Structure 1
Amino acid sequence: MVIAVLSNAMVYSWKALLPVFKILPLLIFGMLAVWKDKATRVFYCYGALVFLITGLFENMAITSEYGFAALIGNIVICLIIAAAWLWEAITKHSDFNRVQPSFSRLWVMPLAFMAFWYPVNMDTLQPDFSLHYLITSEAGLTFCMMLPVYLSVMLLFFPDVNLVTLRISSFARVLIGLLSMMQFFVFNKGMEWMGILHLPLLIISSYAFVLSFRKRCR
């Protein structure tokens, strides 16, 4: 049922909105680069909004096999993460005012870029490296693609971030990432490319979870 729901998710019927949800995060990243800490709340509010939308509507579908179906476990996890991001937007424990991010963590950026690009033909689920997917792919409304992108931003400013938000977000998706590896590499042959595209989720989330236990150093 998982594949049936995710393949027919309600959120993917919003074709006209897909470019909007690719352009908006780019604008917010630009705001962070220019205004730094002044844009922190915007970053977390937008993340909470995206996680709320995708958490609900990416995990609901009307399928030919099951009719209306919802992945309740996924929804609960996503809503917890959305709540953690909203709480950080309100309380603001993060500080993005440092002159430079931690460039030693730039290795996560190619993985985040791959997740943001999401180069896959959704009809065949095979690789498609067309550049238009940078703006038109479903990634902007796909939880498993956007979370590693947003986590990579937090990692660049680590340790001046909310470690609890980082820990909650990353731990939950490590579990989902492991399940995704099983789904795409073991139980659903022919979907290996989708498994590869979920590696940024697993790798970045695992790294973020480990880092979240380091003490904040001011």
Structure 2
Amino acid sequence: MEKIDFFFEKKWALTLIYIIFIILNVIFPPIASSGYAAQDTGRVISSLLNTSIIPYVWLAPVFHIATIVLVICIWRLGAKISRVLSLYIGINYIFIGLIQNFGETWEFGFVILIGTMITEFLIGFFWLWDAYDPKTETKFEKLPLWRYWPIPLAILAFWSPINPPQNMGPHFDPLFLLTSAGYGLTFCMTTPMFLCLLTLFYPRVNKPVFKITACAGVIMGVLNMFSLLVPYTFWMGILHIPLLSISIYVFILPKIMKIEPQIVNQELVKIPHVRGRLIGQVNIGELEEFLIAKKSTERVEVGDIVEIIGGPFKGEKAKITRVDTTKDEVILELSESTRPIPIKVHADYIKKILSEEEGEPEME
């Protein structure tokens, strides 16, 4: 596993994987036992995808319910189940690679999508690696409202409201929220939910694997946008918008989050008496003394050396002989007076110089 970490430390590592994914999914053609013309490539893929997952449709509710339970567990348990999410994503992608990419078709015989299968296996392997050596932290936190925009699109893909292959039109059956064959069994309908969750956790995610998953999403999303050009598959093209848009957002999100603090700093300059913004997190305990109002007498003790900062004795140094917390006043003895003269001063008019434990300062 250390070798994988070492690989991703290379600047060219992600670029290499992106190129491999493009070659596998764009240049590498499907293999069919009956043969086909180049212009029929789209029909071959469509014919396979319409039949390959049919034997496994009964598993669709399992993936829907498992995802819902997982989200609830993340909400309740937070980072304690970070490995579980990565493990679930990895297993789901490997399962999709096994069932979605080969099968018997009526028109082209046995068809296999080698490129897509390898892509999904690689993504699944990388998420299993993250489960073994976790770099993703599952924890929902309060975010700016704009960070939640992928949720409706992810729910649309999770729902996959589409009629069987005979129609391929929209079918908004609420039951599909638990039974639609797309989610959990196909890459394109499953990935938006995973990426949506990860964008909510960002930047506490395995960034290389996060981007690799999104890269495959962009490639497959773009390829499926051609479905919008055919009336029969138009709605299927619409259902691929979540995959494409959220995948692109994954690459834009880091840049947006770098720009956001700059905008905040520019706006802070316009607020009177505000000098700037502290970078990082501050423990509430460090701010407690500034947030909770305290009487001035609670900050001083008998024997402390103070300077009077208001009233007729302003500028004089004195020693506290008594503290009256009820009236928030102190009794002082002037340090430079030849005879001890007690004076009563409001505690707001003194500034502590030395505490009793530190001893008295030397007088000139």
Q: Are 2:93 and 2:187, in contact at CA under 8 Å, matched by a contact in 1?
A: yes
Matches within 5 A, 1:127-146: 127-138=170-181, 139-146=183-190
Counterpart of 1:56? 98
State the identity %: 34
Q: Supply the AA of the counterpart residue of 2:218.
A: V
Larger strand percent: 2
Aligned pairs for 1:43-192 within 5 A? 43-97=85-139, 99-100=141-142, 103-123=145-165, 124-138=167-181, 139-182=183-226, 184-186=227-229, 188-192=230-234
Q: TM (normalized to structure 1)?
A: 0.92
2:123 counterpart letter in structure 1: I
Aligned-residue offset at 1:213: 6.7
Mark the runs of 5 or more structure 1 residues left unpaired by the alignment: none
More helix by share: 1
Q: Number of matched residues?
A: 215
Whole-angstrom CA distance in 2 between matches of 1:104 and 1:214: 11
Query: Which structure's relative contact order is higher, taking Cα pairs within 8 Å and 6+ residues apart?
Result: 1
Letter in structure 2 aligned against 1:16: W
The Cα RMSD (Å) is 2.0
Mapped partners of 1:155, 1:163: distance in 2: 10
Unaligned stretches of 5+ in structure 2?
Answer: 1-43, 259-278, 281-364
Cα deviation 1:164-204 (Å, max 9, x = unaligned): 0111000111011100112x123x44110000000000000
Shift of 1:66: 2.0
Look at both structures and tell me which one has the larger radius of gyration over its CA atoms: 2
For residues 210 and 76 of structure 1, the distance between their equivalents in structure 2, rounded to whole angstroms, comes to 26
Flag as ranges the 4+ runs of structure 1 deviating above 4 A: 212-218
CA contact (8 A) 2:158 2:177 kept: yes
The 1:57/1:31 distance shift into structure 2, 3 A limit, reads same
Contact 1:177-1:201 at 8 Å conserved across structures: yes
